[in-house]
Structure 1
Amino acid sequence: MSMYTIPDFATLRRVLDRLYVRYTPPRRAEGDDVLGTLVRTILSQQTTRAATDQAFTALLEHANADWHRIAHAPTSIIEDVIRPAGLARQKAQRIQALLSQVHDEFQSYDLEHLHQMAPEKARAYLLKFKGVGPKTAAFTLMAACAMPLFPMDTHIFRIFERLRWLDPTLGDEAAHQQMQALIPPDDRLPAHMALVEHGRTLCRARNPLCEHCPILTDCPTGSSPPD
């Protein structure tokens, strides 16, 4: 018998609700359009939600929410504005390249047509932009277009493995499909954000802080006595 088991709905609901109490993730997207969500998601790479929000707000305020001004500003200025999110030079270059490519293709700064595309086609379209990987593309489409996707990152993989919901020998695609089917559509955005925050702060790869974990009683790994 496998030591990894898909949880029943009551267990899933209990775990998610406890994470929501701890991390208070937004239940819906922040209200950005598709392009704004994509830029915000690029800023969020390898940083916290608070740092992302600070950098994104500063970027919009600096340019009066004008993508043209952001695209054509000196890159060093954009770097300074988004510095709270970390990796400022890399992210500034990627954001400006993205904006230029979108404008060259559509003569406007607009990706709202993705709402009309099938999820896999929309995902493939976003992946053509430098700096947009599978997780960034899937999160953007989930958050901005309410597409039935659930992006998995290393934090979420680690948490699900420690909960023994996910067999680590599964390939990435099989794991994505299994967990995407598990998480109810209305929970996908808040669950993703709460799980990522949990993985960054408590359920860390090294030295996890199990004594502070809100889902410890449901975690066989954390609640087992050390060998």
Structure 2
Amino acid sequence: MSDRLPFGDDPRTEILRRTQAALIDAFGRIVRPIDKRRSPEWVLVHGVIGARSKTAVSNASTDALLSTYGSWEAVARAPVAELSDRLARQTFPEQSARRLKACLEQVVALRGSVDLRHLSNLPTAEAMVWLEALPGVGRKIAAGVMNTSGFARSVMVIDSHHRRIMQRMGFVPAKADTARAYDALMPLLPPEWHAADMDEHHLLLKKLGQTFCRPREPRCKNCPVRADCATGQRKPSSPYQPLSGRR
């Protein structure tokens, strides 16, 4: 995994540009204001507790933890049962509590406190490797810390909506996990895209996944990116079928 892999003249890069334009036309701009970029530590906690939970719920839970305990080090010292109660609104509160405590304890063990500022001095790929070594942290969370926090690095956050759409469009192997999807997509991104563009692309695809490209019964007929989608270009009369053999 490198900061940015070499770019060539892959036609899929132009498709991604067209996809971005089509989604902006369909949904409008979805730009994260600079003042909404949180600290990398906050984004880490948000990611670790956020499995299968709505973003607004995880936002509130993360803010409440810091407000209640006063520091992430105090959160790390809290008993799992207590954290589980504090995370009652999360989809998996006990699992979230165990993962969060393990993750923050590991950061404290490595750095002396819950402080990720040292990552700003590392190349993005090295920073993500460091993050992914923490308990409960995978590629999505690591990319989120590097892209959506104040670090604002040019990496793509890929959630289940994003991966599903890229699989249906034919960009990513059907059985690829998040890490493999990331490795497949990063070399194809337009070289002019910076952190904010990648963040907006992710948010637009999430919106597409919630509206048209749903997990079951996707609404291909009126999808704004159907013209560039391998699934959408199948015969209109044919029912949707997963791209189970596509590589």
**Does TM, scored on the shorter chain, surpass 0.5?**
yes
Q: 1:106 to 1:203 in 2, by over 3 A?
A: same
Please list, as runs of the form range in 1=range in 2, the aligned pairs for 1:1-227 lying within 5 A after superposition. Answer: 5-8=12-15, 11-18=18-25, 20-21=27-28, 24=30, 26-28=32-34, 30-64=36-70, 66-144=71-149, 145-164=151-170, 166=171, 168=173, 172=180, 174-181=183-190, 184-185=193-194, 186-200=196-210, 202-210=212-220, 213=223, 215=224, 218=227, 220=229, 221-222=231-232, 225-227=236-238
Deviation of the 1:183 alpha carbon: 7.6
Deviation of the 1:129 alpha carbon: 0.7
CA contact (8 A) 2:128 2:142 kept: yes
Q: Which amino acid aligns with 1:204?
A: R
CA contact (8 A) 2:61 2:87 kept: yes
Q: 1:49 to 1:169 in 2, by over 3 A?
A: closer
Deviation of the 1:113 alpha carbon: 0.8
CA contact (8 A) 1:123 1:137 kept: yes
* Structure 1: gaps of 5 or more residues: none
**Matched residues in 1 for 2:169 and 2:48: separation?**
29
State the identity as a percent. 25
State the number of aligned residues. Answer: 220
**Matched residues in 2 for 1:20 and 1:132: separation?**
31
| Bigger proportion of residues as helix | 1
Deviation of the 1:226 alpha carbon: 2.8
SS of aligned partner of 1:26 = coil
**Matched residues in 1 for 2:209 and 2:104: separation?**
31
Q: Which amino acid aligns with 1:188?
A: M
* Structure 2: gaps of 5 or more residues: 1-10, 239-247
**Matched residues in 1 for 2:221 and 2:93: separation?**
34
- The one-character-per-residue Cα deviations of 1:49-82 (angstroms, maximum 9, x if unpaired) are 2222222222223223x21321122222211222
Deviation of the 1:112 alpha carbon: 0.7
Q: Which amino acid aligns with 1:105?
A: L
Q: 1:38 to 1:72 in 2, by over 3 A?
A: same
Q: 1:19 to 1:134 in 2, by over 3 A?
A: farther
Query: Which TM-score applies when normalising by structure 1?
Result: 0.79
Deviation of the 1:161 alpha carbon: 3.7
Deviation of the 1:43 alpha carbon: 2.4
Deviation of the 1:94 alpha carbon: 1.3
